[in-house]
Amino acid sequence: MAVILTAMVFTTSLMLFIAVLQLLQTDKRMEKRLRHYLVLHDKKPLGRRKFGLLVQLQLSKQAVRERVLTKKKSQRLEERLSRAGITMKPEEYILFQWVGIALGGGLLYLLTGQPALLAVGAVAGFLFPGWMVDRLRRKRLAAFNDSLLDMLTTIIGSLRAGFSFVQALKTVVEESTGPMRDEADIVLKEMQYGASVEDALGNWRERMPSEDLDLLVQAILIQRQIGGNLAVILETIVQTLRDRGRIQRQVTTLTAQGRLSGMVIGLLPLVLGVLLYLIEPDYIGTLFRHPIGMGLLAGGGVSGMIGFVLIRKMTQIEV
């Protein structure tokens, strides 16, 4: 009976989500345009069901873009997704968050059967897309920083061969891969569309919040103002980045024990509590039922978070 009830609640939440999206779909002009392009330019037209789903998705995105997203919020989300290297529009990200809310809350409720955890699952489903975007952004930034030395070496070799800075960037696009190739290609396209070198490099620095890239851009801009041998300047930057990376690796090695201690201290109460609950549920169940036990759990959780944050701050040393 409980399983049937949970399944009915989950199905009802999904149907309510679909109904809300359909209420937002009032514009039929997009359906006509999509039908025109799909029929004329596709040798094998889509089936009625697939075509209907595609039209519903496009209308939903348009409704979100017009009624939910503001211009400022849309620009902020677009910049955030661009830094993570995700080819997704802001309205698609919002729809993904809504689906995450429904699935997170429904799945957690089905697994536990506790109505109070429905809100916890909904919050987790709402935060999961943002966590994934931030994780991909950090991963992409790390890959960009790792390939920065190779890019500088390529530019120095091109400059010594008699190429200009723009031609050196073209060489980087041809020989690089990953985020470095994508970002260098964007800089070249901005220059081709009429932007100056200073503006293109400034936009590059805003898209990629990298300290190493900021140092490189500042050196190039200063060289363009006061003159000098750019290849020699870039060689000095390469040596600086190599020394910084060597010191950073040493600091990471020396602070590994402290970071591991913080993880153990933070996870030990949770693991011990789960083990005690599995061994003797009635023994530890008082903490979740009695007001004093609930207060102790709240205090212990807050204290553990504070200790974990302090240890992380102590072991993070900027070079």
Between CA 21 and CA 25 the distance in angstroms is: 7
Picking from 245, 272, 299, the residue at the C-terminal end of a domain is: 245
Strands annotated E in 79-137: none
Please give the pLDDT value at position 68: 65
Query: Does one domain contain both 132 and 63?
Result: yes
Indicate the number of domains in the chain. Answer: 3
Please give the pLDDT value at position 7: 58
Q: In 3D, which of 202, 196, 272, 211 has the Cα closest to residue 244?
A: 211
Would you say residue 250 lies in a domain? no
Assign residue 169 the CATH number of its domain.
Answer: 1.20.81
Query: Does one domain contain both 191 and 220?
Result: yes
User: What residue type is assigned to position 130 of the chain?
Assistant: G
Query: Does one domain contain both 133 and 167?
Result: no
Can you tell me which residue has the tokens 């964007």?
186
Query: Does one domain contain both 73 and 198?
Result: no
Query: Does one domain contain both 125 and 12?
Result: yes
- How is 59-90 classified by DSSP, letter by letter? HHHHHHHHHT--HHHHHHHHHHHHHTT----H
Please give the pLDDT value at position 230: 85
Please give the pLDDT value at position 210: 84
Token digits for 306? 């504070």
Cβ-based burial of 308 (10 A; exposed 0-12, middle 13-18, buried ≥19): middle
| Domain region containing 31 | 2-140
> CA dist 140 to 11, 80, 147, 307, Å?
37, 12, 11, 30
Between CA 304 and CA 269 the distance in angstroms is: 9
Query: Does one domain contain both 269 and 299?
Result: yes
Please give the pLDDT value at position 41: 47
Non-local (6+) Cβ contacts of 156 within 8 A are 231, 234, 235, 238
Picking from 226, 245, 264, the residue at the C-terminal end of a domain is: 245
pLDDT in tens, the chain (319 residues): 555 555 565 666 666 556 555 554 545 555 665 565 555 444 555 566 665 666 566 666 666 666 667 777 777 888 888 888 777 777 778 877 888 888 887 877 777 776 767 777 888 888 888 888 888 888 888 888 888 888 888 888 888 888 888 888 888 888 888 888 888 888 888 888 888 888 888 888 888 888 888 888 888 888 888 877 888 888 888 888 888 888 888 888 888 887 888 788 778 888 888 788 788 777 777 777 778 878 888 888 888 788 878 877 777 776 6
Q: In 3D, which of 85, 34, 82 has the Cα closest to residue 61?
A: 34
Query: Does one domain contain both 129 and 183?
Result: no
